[in-house]
């Protein structure tokens, strides 16, 4: 099985790429979705997050207050590292298990979407890496559309490696400035040439 690791900066098109890859028939594991699942009420990871960050990050229904947690961890590098130590090993175990299942099912290709692919040393698990990117102005506009402040955008961008570093380390680059058809066609080209 040919396994792709897909990364890129925040707001640069990873989720759209994941949808296109799934539409092309690839099994896709999205580590952001896994991260949301493992902090659902009753999950061990949520309990550990609560022990580290306090009851104030959990709502009355037992759900994680994602905005509150983000406010804390993106303003404090140590807090972010603590959260990553809690979540990243669990996330990795899950997507590695999914990949193993794909292999057992005889899938020819698969993709795992990992925003911090290179930062976490996950590249060794992939046959090829793909980085999606766009210009800074487009990235900022996309993030502003999410309702984020300029400060929130800066904090999240600063929490990742510079996109230029990711581009240099990737086997393939997908430029997401154009229309969605061009985005999809680039991914199709990678799959047929890889």
What are the tens digits of pLDDT across the range 163-194? 999 999 999 999 999 899 999 999 999 999 97
What are the tens digits of pLDDT across the range 108-136? 999 999 999 999 999 999 999 999 999 99
CATH of the domain at 93: 3.40.50.300
Confidence label for 148 from pLDDT (cuts 50, 70 and 90)? very high
Tokens 């303003």 map to which residue? 75
Nearest to 74 by CA among 143, 129, 130, 15: 143
| Total number of domains in the chain | 1
% of the chain surpassing 70 pLDDT: 100
Torsion over CA: 117, 123, 126, 130 (sign)? positive
Determine the Cα angle at 34 with ends 157 and 69, to 5°. 50
What are the tens digits of pLDDT across the range 8-59? 999 999 999 999 999 999 999 999 999 999 999 999 999 999 999 998 999 9
Beta strands in 67-171 (DSSP E): 109-113, 128-133
Helix H or strand E encompassing 8: strand 2-8
Nearest to 38 by CA among 89, 96, 1: 89
Domain span at 114? 2-193
């Amino acid at each position: 099985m040919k396994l792709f690791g897909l990364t890129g900066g925040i707001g640069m098109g990873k989720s759209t790429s994941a949808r296109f890859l799934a539409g092309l028939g690839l099994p896709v594991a999205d580590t952001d979705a896994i991260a949301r699942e493992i902090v659902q009420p009753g999950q061990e990871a949520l309990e550990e997050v609560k022990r580290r960050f306090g009851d104030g990050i959990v709502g009355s229904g037992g759900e994680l207050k994602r905005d509150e947690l983000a406010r804390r961890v993106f303003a404090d590098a140590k807090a972010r590292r603590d959260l990553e130590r809690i979540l990243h090993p669990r996330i990795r175990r899950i997507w590695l298990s999914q990949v193993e299942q794909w292999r057992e099912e005889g899938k020819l290709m698969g993709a795992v979407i990992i925003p911090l692919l290179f930062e976490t040393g996950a590249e060794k698990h992939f046959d090829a890496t793909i980085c999606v990117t766009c210009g800074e102005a487009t990235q900022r506009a996309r993030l502003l559309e999410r309702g984020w402040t300029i400060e929130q955008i800066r904090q999240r961008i600063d929490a990742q490696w510079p996109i230029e570093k990711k581009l240099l380390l990737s086997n393939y680059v997908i430029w997401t400035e154009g229309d969605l058809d061009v985005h999809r066609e680039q991914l199709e080209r990678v799959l047929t040439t890889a």
